[in-house]
């Protein structure tokens, strides 16, 4: 799930030469040890990583070239241009009998000079990422995004086209930076017989792997059967898309938010 917009971030290193109005870059060091694995090899291991925050994009780890197994990389002819960062060069990784094409990029002559000497890896093309000794999923953990999970006695009713699918006075409310409030309900308060298990799955960097239920032609709800430890308060609870269902809280119909899941 997407993080918060960058307008509220603390000041980091700002590229004041950006020519795109309203487009901001922040490049901040992280004290965490970051490791990247591919093909049975540790292809990067660093305590000098930086997080690049860019308007509208999830944070990306940039790693000093000195902390990357450059012997496993091969420069390709692929390139892309970013008006605020410059011309990107790409490398393919080969390790353990496997390859990941154009999986690494960097800016040999960046517009933003502080990107010089760093490279970034496509998260999904790698086998595993670690912050210290904890494996992380989905994208880097953003220190400026927060999730609060609070037990509540608010009365929550969920319906679709007038059909009530769930009703509970014991929800757990999940507040996540930049996203609508999500209402997690006990299974006993959900009409599971009105839902159909879906083949859809997704992975949240903060909560873990979600499985879904559909109603009619679209997915309307999800659950975390084995969440990451930070999200244990919502284990086995059921959450409905605010964007696809009608949710009433204490008798007041909530406005359906506009989001990528609308």
Q: Specify whether 92 is located in the same domain as 67.
A: yes
Check residue 20 and give its pLDDT.
Answer: 55
**Domain annotation covers residue 141:** no
Residue 36: its H or E element: strand 34-38
* Distance (Å, whole) CA 237 – CA 135: 24
Q: Is residue 260 part of a domain?
A: no
Any domain includes 104 = yes
CB proximity list for 193: less than 8 A, separation 6 or greater: none
Whether 100 and 156 share a structural domain = no
- N residues, the chain: 262
Question: Domain range spanning residue 173?
Answer: 147-253
- CA 49 – CA 67 distance, rounded (Å): 9
Per the rule left: phi > 0, alpha: psi between -120 and 50, beta: everything else, 39 is left
142 in a structural domain: no
Specify the pTM: 0.78
Same domain, 153 and 129: no
CA-wise closest residue to 210 among 195, 200, 218? 200
Same domain, 23 and 127: yes
CA distance 181 to 174: 6
**Residue 223's Cα: distance from chain center in Å?**
17
CB atoms within 10 A of CB 135: 11
- 156 lies in the same domain as 125: no
Q: Where is the domain boundary, 113, 136, 159?
A: 136
Q: What is the pLDDT along the chain (262 residues), one digit of tens a residue?
A: 323 333 334 333 444 334 456 678 889 999 999 999 999 999 999 999 999 998 888 899 999 999 999 999 999 999 999 988 999 999 999 999 999 999 999 999 999 899 999 999 999 999 999 999 999 999 998 888 889 999 999 999 999 999 999 999 999 999 998 889 999 999 999 999 999 999 999 999 999 999 999 999 999 999 999 999 999 999 999 999 999 999 999 999 999 988 777 7
The pLDDT value recorded for residue 21 is 61
**The domain spanning residue 81 has which CATH number?**
2.170.150.40
SS (H, E, C) 121-181: ECHHHCCEEEECCEEECCCCCCCCCCEEEEECCCCEEEEECCEEEEEECCCEEEEECCCCC
Asked if residues 89 and 108 have their Cβ atoms less than 8 Å apart, the reply is yes
Alpha-carbon distance 152 to 146, whole Å?
Answer: 19
Q: What is the pLDDT of residue 35?
A: 98
Q: Give the chain's domain count.
A: 2
Closest CA to 150 of 124, 172, 121, 181: 172
- Report long-range pairs for 114-117 (Cβ below 8 Å, ≥24 apart): 114/13, 114/15, 114/27, 115/27, 115/52, 115/62, 115/85, 115/86, 117/64, 117/65, 117/66
> Is residue 190 located within the same domain as residue 209?
yes
């Amino acid at each position: 799930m997407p993080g918060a917009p960058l307008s509220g971030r603390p000041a980091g290193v700002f590229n004041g030469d950006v020519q795109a109005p309203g487009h901001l870059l922040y490049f901040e060091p992280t004290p965490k040890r970051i490791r990247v694995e591919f093909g049975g090899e540790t292809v990067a291991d660093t305590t000098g990583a930086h997080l690049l925050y860019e308007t509208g994009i999830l944070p990306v780890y940039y790693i000093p070239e000195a902390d990357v197994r450059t012997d496993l990389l091969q420069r390709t002819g692929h390139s892309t241009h970013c008006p605020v960062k410059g011309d990107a060069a790409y490398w393919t990784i080969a390790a353990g009998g496997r390859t990941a094409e154009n999986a690494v990029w960097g800016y040999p002559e960046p517009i933003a000079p502080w990107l010089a000497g760093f490279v970034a890896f496509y998260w999904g093309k790698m086998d595993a990422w670690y912050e210290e000794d904890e494996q992380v999923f989905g994208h880097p953990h953003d220190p400026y995004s927060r999730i609060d999970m609070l037990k509540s006695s608010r009365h929550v009713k969920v319906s679709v086209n007038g059909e009530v699918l769930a009703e509970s006075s014991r929800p757990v409310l999940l507040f996540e930076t930049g996203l609508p409030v999500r209402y997690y309900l006990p299974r006993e308060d959900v009409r599971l017989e009105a839902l159909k298990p879906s083949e859809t799955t997704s992975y949240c960097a903060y909560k873990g792997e979600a499985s879904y239920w559909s109603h009619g032609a679209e997915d309307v709800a999800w659950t975390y059967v084995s969440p990451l430890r930070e999200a244990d308060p919502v284990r086995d609870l059921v959450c409905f898309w605010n964007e696809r269902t009608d949710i009433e809280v204490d008798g007041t119909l909530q406005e359906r938010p506009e989001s990528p899941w609308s």
